[in-house]
Structure 1
Amino acid sequence: MIEVDMERGKDNMEVITFGESMVLFNPDSTGPLRYVHNFNKTIAGAESNVAIALARLKHRVGWFSRLGDDEFGRYIEAVIRGEGVDVSRIVTDPSNSTGLLFKERFAHVNPKVYYYRKNSAASNITFKDLDLEYIKSAKILHVTGITLALSQSAREAVYEAVKMAKANGVLISFDPNIRLKLWSAEEAKVAILEMIKLSDIVFPGVDEGRLLLGTEDPKEMIKQLLNMGCSTVAVKLGKEGCYIANRQEEKMVRGYVVERPIDTVGAGDGYAAGFLSGLLNQLSLEECGKLANAVGAMATLVRGDMEGFPTLSQVREFMGTDEYIDR
């Protein structure tokens, strides 16, 4: 099992992450957006999702980004701070706007996504925006392939942050999170494989295995990723669960049955948060997988990207480890 230095970050953040968060407009009805007139406003962003999920599981976590000097940026900052996440390293950009995201829904189908994030404040993040001492104090730095895709300056910032953190004993957690609306498959493959070589913990999905490694076989994916230098690999298999491994053992961990999922967006981020929580609490590899599966499953029970992430007591009740008392 990967060793987490429990003294590191004792008085600071356990996990630090950074990347773009956007204001999400979720339609209150299904059908083409031209016929939709009312939306619910919330936030979306893989890295902030992980941060919020970890905070609900009682971890000390920090998230930062560049946000526009606008009401949308102030809204994102307030929401994430309100979830108990440290946002003290946010950079305010007076020249570029906060990104927006709209969903379009059809019954029983994952939503279609429309991004309005080109030249957003977050896409202009640079290495100069990073507080290196802050990052170096953490136990884990979590990054995703989405930030790599935003721009060349954002990509360079991720690489530099990871190299600096790794050189100072911080574990690197990486979710490929491939978004082909942001870059080509060829560009994604080159950049993400380079990042995997720098990572300790990796969370690929089966589709990402096919694009990056030429295989959908979880065992073969794990073999290749461990050979590339990763210490722990957790292959996300959706409702089937996950196939996880380190250099000592491999485990298939069955998922939890969700009869009527409401919204699957954010489930992968919840999975990553659950797994990292298990590592921080020094659980076994299998227990990390079970917790990750549970948090990911619970994320699908609620409409929205981050609204369904459970508290620690809620996920224990869901897993059957704590008794649920209704009245």
Structure 2
Amino acid sequence: MSGLFTLGETLGLVAANGIGPLGHAQGFSFGIGGAESNVAIGVARLGGESTWLGRVGPDAAGTLIASRIAAMGVRTLAVTDEAFTGLMVRHRRSGEFTQVDYHRAGSAGSRLAPADLPAAELTGATILHVTGITPALSETARAAVFQAVETARAAGVTVSIDVNYRAKLWSRFDAGPVLRDLVARADIVFASPEEAALFVPADDAPAELAKLGPAEVIVKDGGRGCVALIEGVRLTRPALPVTVVDPVGAGDAFVAGYLADRLAGAPADARLTTAIAAGAFAVTVPGDCEGAPNRAELAALSGADVQR
């Protein structure tokens, strides 16, 4: 095995159609959503090899999650658990504000454990990617993330983390030390300025995050683009001007673009160009991962050389 290996919870997604209060929705769609599987799907769509590991329930939502991730070209290691598959309910209250309610406490995905980890596949990966979401789900899920990271590090596998702080899962006080510890063990880190401020001074987030150990630090800042410090070289990229249809999933698409290019051996500036284009494309289509772009679509959007 080679390519990207990631693990975490993917949820069933109930999304209200249209914009307005949930009670006035004219219909709903059902899909899937999870930061780690979003990245795995994004990498696969851009031509990379990717594997996702997670627990799902013995229910229709769990079956859908496993089949849909696999259908997107991702090697899928879905462990069936006796607990239910978690759900999220999302609606756009206005054109500028999206609300998401989670129903995941005690879910199958939250019961991820170190025993679920396939050591041989972890050590054979090129990149292990984790997020700050999974450690917030349960003690066993946190232990699984840290064990995956230590196993990968011992084997010389590159470790990537997206801080991805979720205030609905844990407090800043509880999250800060854990996320700092994870970042200190990573080779690549992605964070927003607000996420970085959980555990480093905010005056120069890329430099402060790099002091913890990662050689590649990428601070993603939405409509303002990104700032990176990669092997000591500072790089910036502005966001692409696009019409926003659905802002959810942009950060995951950005990460997928960067990691797909890294797997392909692209230089740092090209990785950021692809990441910016993938994030921009994601907001022009509805859904968390269904509209993940391929290389030709990114090239059409940005005019950049992203056809590796």
Runs (4+) of structure 1 exceeding 3 A deviation are none
Task: Give the C-alpha shift of residue 35 in structure 1.
Answer: 3.2
Q: Is the CA contact (8 Å cut-off) linking 1:65 and 1:122 kept in structure 2?
A: yes
Deviations 1:197-232 (A, max 9, x none): 1000000101112222231x4xx2111111111110
What are the within-5 Å matches in structure 2 for residues 307-326 of structure 1?
A: 307-321=290-304
Q: 1:174 — aligned with what?
A: 161
Task: State TM-score, norm by structure 2.
Answer: 0.96
SS in 1 for 2:150: helix
Q: 2:232 — aligned with what?
A: 248
Give 1:309's aligned amino acid: A
Distance in 1 (CA, whole Å) between partners of 2:238 and 2:20 is 34
Q: Is the aligned partner of 1:20 residue 2:9?
A: yes
Deviations 1:281-303 (A, max 9, x none): 22221111111000000000011
Distance in 2 (CA, whole Å) between partners of 1:202 and 1:43 is 25
Distance in 1 (CA, whole Å) between partners of 2:120 and 2:231 is 31
Q: Is the aligned partner of 1:112 residue 2:99?
A: yes
Which structure 1 residue ranges, 5 or more long, are not aligned?
1-11
Q: Is the aligned partner of 1:222 residue 2:209?
A: no
Q: Is the CA contact (8 Å cut-off) linking 2:48 and 2:264 kept in structure 1?
A: no
Q: 1:238 — aligned with what?
A: 222
Q: Is the CA contact (8 Å cut-off) linking 2:17 and 2:91 kept in structure 1?
A: no
Give 1:92's aligned amino acid: T
Q: 1:42 — aligned with what?
A: 31
SS in 2 for 1:59: coil
Task: Give the C-alpha shift of residue 241 in structure 1.
Answer: 1.3
Distance in 2 (CA, whole Å) between partners of 1:138 and 1:110 is 38
Give 1:270's aligned amino acid: A
Deviations 1:258-281 (A, max 9, x none): 1x2011110000000111112122
What are the within-5 Å matches in structure 2 for residues 281-320 of structure 1?
A: 281-320=264-303
Which structure 2 residue ranges, 5 or more long, are not aligned?
none
Q: Is the CA contact (8 Å cut-off) linking 2:257 and 2:274 kept in structure 1?
A: yes
Q: What is the aligned-residue RMSD (CA, Å)?
A: 1.4
SS in 2 for 1:29: strand
Q: Is the CA contact (8 Å cut-off) linking 1:16 and 1:63 kept in structure 2?
A: yes
Q: 1:188 — aligned with what?
A: 175
SS in 1 for 2:14: strand
Q: Is the aligned partner of 1:58 residue 2:47?
A: yes
Q: Is the CA contact (8 Å cut-off) linking 2:46 and 2:295 kept in structure 1?
A: yes
Aligned counterpart for 1:137 among listed residues 113, 124, 127: 124
Task: State TM-score, norm by structure 1.
Answer: 0.91
Q: Is the CA contact (8 Å cut-off) linking 1:244 and 1:285 kept in structure 2?
A: no
Q: 2:251 — aligned with what?
A: 268
What are the within-5 Å matches in structure 2 for residues 145-156 of structure 1?
A: 145-156=132-143
Q: Is the CA contact (8 Å cut-off) linking 2:22 and 2:93 kept in structure 1?
A: no
